[in-house]
Amino acid sequence: MRQLKHKRDTWGSRLGIIMAVAGSAVGLGNFLRFPTQAASNGGGAFMIPYFISLLLLGIPLMWIEWTLGRYGGGFEHGTAPGIFHSLWQKNRFIKYFGVIGIFGPFVIFIYYTFIESWTLGYSFYSLKGLYAQATDQASMQAFLKGYQGLEKNSFFSSIVPAYIFFLIAFSLNILVLYRGIKGGIERVAKIAMPVLLGFGILLMIRVLTLGSPDPAKPDWNIVNGLGFLWNPDFSALKSAKVWLAAAGQIFFTLSVGIGVILTYASYLSKGDDVVLSGLTAVSVNEFAEIVLGGSIIIPAAFVFFGPGLIQAIATQGAFDLGFVTMPLILGKIPLSALFGFMWFGLLFLAGVTSSISLAYPAVAFLEDEFDISRKKAVAIFAAVSFALCQPAIFLLGKGVVNELDFWGGTFCLVLFGTVEAVLFAWVFGMDRAWAEIHHGADLAVPRIYKFIIKFVTPLFLILILGFWLYQEGIPTIFLKGVSEADKPYIFWTRIGLLFLFACLAVMVKIAWRRKTGKWEKELI
């Protein structure tokens, strides 16, 4: 085992790592993306491929990443390049595949932090009642576009308010990273997750106790609202799109295939239990998504807007659901300012626990592979990421964020998950992997999962990657549906992403050359 100049950070408790991983998983997608996906893909029928994907894809990948992270941490590697190299030391190129595990979360962080800052701004506006004058879909949409800087209107004349909230949110992220694993991430997760879940439970109770606002329309009730989301349309199961959507949601919701869990788990000790801890983190996330995420927006929208508009509302997109529909709904009930603050406060806490996890692989890479202090690594990350955030902020209306999301949040996610599953089961070896999973475990994994992890999960991932590339990837790569005006921005965004990936690959090469030279000197 190599020795770093600085001592690696550690988690303070099992609860801390569970809350941090759950916080990484519980994000905006649990409360915005999940209800949209479920409502537009067969309602309750969507949950059949969803749970199949959870059992065959989500949980196995969660155990794979917890185990790989702990294993790599034993070699003092906290990111995918070093961990992959530890798995397959004879292959000198495998570490470059690990670059995806730094590149992907870094790219997501670039735009995610700005979106996260909207929830902070809207929390403030909820308490101040500043969007209360927007009383319909059109005016609330105008409020959002004005805030985003996409247009000047009676609500906002510039992007300055949004930029101020971005600076606050970005600074909070950097402050947490600066404090490290135990003093920053763990402490924030232990506070943020209970508060987030508390807000979600209170909002769910309030929604479930809503009565029909119009006595003449008794069918506009919460039971029918839940029925819209959960009653199954089994004919939807014939569509490959629904199965891909369900599998994709599992990827997004558990934060697997990103590289974040690898980094968090690398700070575990060799005897720490990854089986029960991983399952607990999954359970917290699924409670937040299925119970809370499925019981707030869509049922509430049905009560206030009725069956005629609910289909359009359910499929209008996550941003509109969260920042247009939900404020309108909450504005119609007593204590609207308080509930509005809870809603956007919930989203902000979900966002910040996710964004700090997206940032940490890059910080850990600088710490572990270049032997620099955490504070210096955070300062470098802050400077670079702040500069790269600017195009996502000021070119939001030019398709830049969609492009970043495609490469960082979709393509890299599926590709990385496929690579690590194959490495774990086939290169590291399933017998060795099975023993590593159970090292220090209080709970035995059902033996069927040995077969699932070796054969089913990699095959499932390869099929997802193939179908997804055919249905969505290729059209996106060839700019299908992109306006001519936006194509130059998309082109330069891709050039920038290629340059970023190349820089990370060069940094990996330099880091390994440095270490090789040090090892040779030590031998002499």
Q: Using one digit for the tens of pLDDT, what is the confidence trace for 437-459?
A: 999 999 999 999 999 999 999 99
Q: Using one digit for the tens of pLDDT, what is the confidence trace for 30-88?
A: 998 898 888 888 888 899 999 999 999 999 999 999 999 999 999 999 999 999 999 99
In a 3-state reduction of DSSP, which class is residue 43?
A: strand
Q: Using one digit for the tens of pLDDT, what is the confidence trace for 154-176?
A: 899 999 999 999 999 999 999 99
pLDDT value of residue 5: 58
What is the C-alpha to C-alpha distance for residues 481 and 483, in angstroms, rounded to an integer?
6
| DSSP label at residue 478 | T
What is the C-alpha to C-alpha distance for residues 11 and 260, in angstroms, rounded to an integer?
15
| DSSP label at residue 31 | I
Please determine, for residue 152, whether its predicted confidence score (pLDDT) is greater than 70: yes
Residue type present at position 496: G
pLDDT value of residue 341: 96
What is the C-alpha to C-alpha distance for residues 139 and 520, in angstroms, rounded to an integer?
67
262 is written with which tokens? 């690898």
Contact 463, 471 (CB under 8 A): no
Q: Is 264 exposed, middle or buried (0-12, 13-18, 19+ CB in 10 A)?
A: buried
Beta-carbon count within 10 A of 216 CB? 6
Confidence of residue 279 (pLDDT cuts 50, 70, 90): very high
Better-predicted residue by pLDDT, 5 or 398: 398
pLDDT value of residue 336: 93
Confidence of residue 410 (pLDDT cuts 50, 70, 90): confident
Phi and psi of 65, rounded to 5°? -70, -40
Please determine, for residue 16, whether its predicted confidence score (pLDDT) is greater than 50: yes
Better-predicted residue by pLDDT, 244 or 81: 81
Please determine, for residue 22, whether its predicted confidence score (pLDDT) is greater than 80: yes
| DSSP label at residue 32 | I
Q: Domains in the chain and their CATH numbers?
A: 14-523 (1.20.1740)
489 is written with which tokens? 């921005």
pLDDT value of residue 523: 41
User: 3-state SS of 235-298?
Assistant: HHHHCHHHHHHHHHHHHHHHCCCCCHHHHHHCCCCCCCCCHHHHHHHHHHHHHHHHHHHHHCHH
pTM assigned to the model: 0.94
Confidence of residue 517 (pLDDT cuts 50, 70, 90): low
Q: Using one digit for the tens of pLDDT, what is the confidence trace for 456-472?
A: 999 999 988 888 888 87
pLDDT value of residue 521: 53
Confidence of residue 231 (pLDDT cuts 50, 70, 90): confident
Please determine, for residue 520, whether its predicted confidence score (pLDDT) is greater than 50: no
In a 3-state reduction of DSSP, which class is residue 447?
A: coil
Residue with tokens 């009725």: 306
pLDDT value of residue 518: 60
Better-predicted residue by pLDDT, 489 or 43: 489
pLDDT value of residue 3: 56
Range scoring the smallest mean pLDDT among 97-101, 493-497, 515-519: 515-519
* CA neighbor of 494 nearest in space, from 508, 483, 479, 484: 479
Give the orientation angle of helix 187-208 with respect to helix 297-314, to 10 degrees: 80
